[in-house]
Amino acid sequence: MTIPSTTTGRARRHAAPAWMVLALVCASQFMVILDASIVNVALPSIHGDLGFTPTGLAWVVNGYLLTFAGLMLLGGRAADLYGPRRLLAAGLLVFSASSLAGGLATAPEVLVAARLVQGGGAAMMAPATLVVINTRFTEPSARAKAFGAWSAAGGVGGMAGALAGGALTTGLSWRWVFLVNVPVGAVLIVAAMASLAGVRTGRRAALDLTGALTGTAGLAALIYGIMQSADHGWSSVPVLGPIVAGLLLLAVFTVVEARFAIQPIMPLRLFRIRGVAVGSGMLLLFGGIGIAMWYFTSLFMQNVLGYSALQAGLGQTPAAVTFLVVARGAAALLPRIGVRSMVLAGSGTFLAGFGWLTQAHADSGYLTSMLGPTLLIAVGIGLTFPTLMAATTADVPAGDAGVIGGLAQTAAQVGQSVGLGVLATAAGARAATEADGSSPSALTAGYGLVFLMAAGLGLALALVSFLLPRHQRD
């Protein structure tokens, strides 16, 4: 049973309309996800202007993802302790200020530092938006619709990155990839302070600094090691070293949270809630499916079919629109048919879509080999992602909504990082078995293996879904 929010009666009387609050959290989530991908198209221009090394250039992307995922649990607990209004406004301020610094950067080190700080701002914003949804939308149907809109905003943000980055870099400068966040962030800060006035989910308490340090450092080290797998083998020191260190730190974090923390940053009692335990595990699996869809289909279109980055982005636009429509529609269905049926329906479309993609080859056309399967997979993502987010957070006490929101998003992000490392390694190894490992036919074999493995993840998701409650309850 969800514990009511501690929002004061006066604040409730002056609360903004629900549509305004939902627009705020969707716009904030859109910015967070957009900035994970918007720089990709701008990287060649950034490389030329600032003189990055090839290895250093990757950290314009990885720096953001590292701090975003590593600090999410801390951001979630801070949202519970200090309130989502303050944390969302502070996150927007950090995000906007670091975007300004990145847009004005004149040296590689400055831009990477700005991206690290920007990821920290995103880690404050993302869980705060989930706290707002859980406290502002208390009816199951309204909450499901809000999760659908929030999920769609994030999904479209990820897909819009290539188009927005290409348009800004071509029409203005790569600097506007970052500078565009400044005026938008300023507007959202004002909106957050006005529309979320008085919202607070739990009582004030001291932050668990030991848990924060060990948990954040453990997640960051784990994700850093996984990121290195693209350039080094899984058995190499640059990969194994950080992964082992991260796992040890996370083990220490677990002991601290279980035995020593008075107000733990991640209360382990929450894993007794079936939706939290099963849902967060399913989000790990789902992360690999998302990477296979958005990342590897883009690579297939560019490296096998010969599309430009902008053409590949346009090629994925129908899937993005489909995801947006389905995610909104799934919100209305969820309270009626339950989480298991939604996940099973989504898993079935994953199997069909990825199975279809395994038949694509270098001579395939877009209409015959890409459009149909990507639309099917987009339907599956639209049915599954908002359902898993709603199921993971449904029965959580309001005072823990932030940390569970952070956990859910951390699970999805770690799933993406692990999925990218494992699938990229598998694709490279499969392509290397061909006579010419860089030919379109060899790359097709590698991507085909990726799509087959993604279908397997869809099957695993379907099987695990039977552990979820049949229906979402409030």
Structure confidence by residue, pLDDT tens digits, 101-122 = 999 998 989 999 999 999 999 9
* For the chain, domain boundaries: 7-203, 208-264, 270-474
- What is the per-residue pLDDT across 392-445, written as a single tens digit (0 to 9) for each? 877 777 667 777 777 887 888 788 878 877 888 888 888 888 767 678 888 888
Q: What CATH number does domain 7-203 carry, 3.40.50.1980, 3.30.565.10, 1.20.1250.20, 1.50.10.150?
A: 1.20.1250.20
Structure tokens at 125: 């914003």
Model pLDDT, residue 7: 43
Nearest of 40, 45, 76, 74 to residue 58 by alpha carbon: 40
* Block residue for tokens 């506007």: 176
Q: Is the pLDDT of residue 11 over 80?
A: no
Cα separation values, 60 from 30, 65, 125, 136, Å: 19, 9, 20, 35
Give 244-247's long-range contacts (Cβ < 8 A, gap of 24+).
245/218, 245/221, 246/217, 246/218, 246/219, 246/220, 246/221, 246/222, 247/218, 247/222
3-state SS class at 273: coil
Radius of gyration of the chain (CA): 21
Model pLDDT, residue 90: 93
Quote the CA–CA distance of 338 and 189 in Å, as a whole number: 36
Quote the CA–CA distance of 42 and 360 in Å, as a whole number: 29
Quote the CA–CA distance of 86 and 239 in Å, as a whole number: 37
CATH superfamily, domain at 270-474: MFS general substrate transporter like domains (1.20.1250.20)
* Block residue for tokens 């993406």: 416
On the CB side of 28, CA atoms within 13 Å amount to 37
* Block residue for tokens 């999805």: 412
Phi, psi of 135, rounded to the nearest 5 degrees: -95, -30
Record the pTM: 0.75
CA 58 vs. chain centroid, Å, equals: 19
Mean pLDDT along residues 65-72: 82
Quote the CA–CA distance of 346 and 332 in Å, as a whole number: 15
Quote the CA–CA distance of 29 and 271 in Å, as a whole number: 26
Quote the CA–CA distance of 323 and 317 in Å, as a whole number: 10
Model pLDDT, residue 5: 42
% of the chain at pLDDT higher than 70:
91
In this predicted model, which residue has the larger pLDDT, 185 or 140?
A: 185
Residues 6+ positions from 142 with CB-CB distance below 8 Å: 18
| 377 confidence band (pLDDT: 50, 70, 90) | very high
CA angle 259, 265, 270 (to 5 degrees): 75
- Whether the Cβ atoms of residue 314 and residue 406 lie closer than 8 Å to each other: no
Cα separation values, 34 from 40, 73, 158, 231, 417, Å: 11, 21, 5, 25, 17
230 burial (CB, 10 Å; 0-12 / 13-18 / 19+) is middle
Measured from the Cβ of residue 359, the count of other Cβ atoms closer than 10 Å reads 12
Task: Examine domains 7-203 and 270-474 and report if their fold is the same.
Answer: yes
State the average pLDDT for the chain: 82
Highest mean pLDDT among 75-89, 108-122, 134-148, 282-296: 108-122
Mean pLDDT along residues 78-93: 86
In this predicted model, which residue has the larger pLDDT, 5 or 309?
A: 309
* DSSP state for residue 105 in the 8-state scheme: -
Structure tokens at 371: 């459009």
